[in-house]
Amino acid sequence: MIEPEDKVAAVVDAAGGTLVSRVRLQKTVYLLDQLGLSSGFNYEYHHYGPYSRDLDNATGDARALDVVREELHQRASDGASYSVFILPEPGSSKEEALGGLGRTRAAELVKKFAATHVTVLELAATVDWLWRHERCADWRSEVTRRKPMKVGRGRLDRAIVLLQELGLPPPGESHLEMS
């Protein structure tokens, strides 16, 4: 049987054994679920977009069972702390914990998410949540209203391109607009 903590370990493993930040973990699993992970985690909207208390609990269980280690680090620029999740034995996770994605596809996706600026990843997950779950027709205005400081500097456009590349384009954004 696949336990929730096995799913956390499999995602960290798909990242190459290390995944940086709680926000990145949440948004990665959310987007993987939209792509076929089928984690069974429930989501609600929270400060940083879609959030799963189930995933947070599974992460805590993974730490308690020593399936995944969590190290706290501090950002050099401002001293803010962030988490780094580490799989003690990379390659040891259960492939079936990756649902319909499989190890190869999951690794491709998670590495893409790991290389994406965390704010862009957050915006992509939020846009997807707004149109898919809240049925927000004007998702662009809504994400701008909710996250005014984050949508600038081309980050919202990069989030839309990411969703398009994933095959998850929001309504009205079905073609790639690379700039």
DSSP string covering 112-167, please? HHHTS-HHHHHHHHHHHHHHHTS--TTHHHHHHHH-TTTSTTTHHHHHHHHHHHHT
CA distances from 104 to 11, 23, 63, 75 (A): 12, 23, 25, 31
Q: List pLDDT tens digits, range 5-59.
A: 999 999 999 999 999 999 999 999 999 999 999 999 999 999 889 999 999 999 9
Say what the pLDDT of residue 175 is. 52
pTM of the model: 0.92
- The count of other CB atoms within 10 Å of the CB of residue 9 is 26
Q: List pLDDT tens digits, range 144-173.
A: 999 999 999 999 999 999 999 999 999 887
Domains (range + CATH), the chain: 1-110 (1.10.10), 116-179 (no CATH)
Say what the pLDDT of residue 78 is. 85
Say what the pLDDT of residue 172 is. 83
Percent of the chain predicted with pLDDT > 90: 78
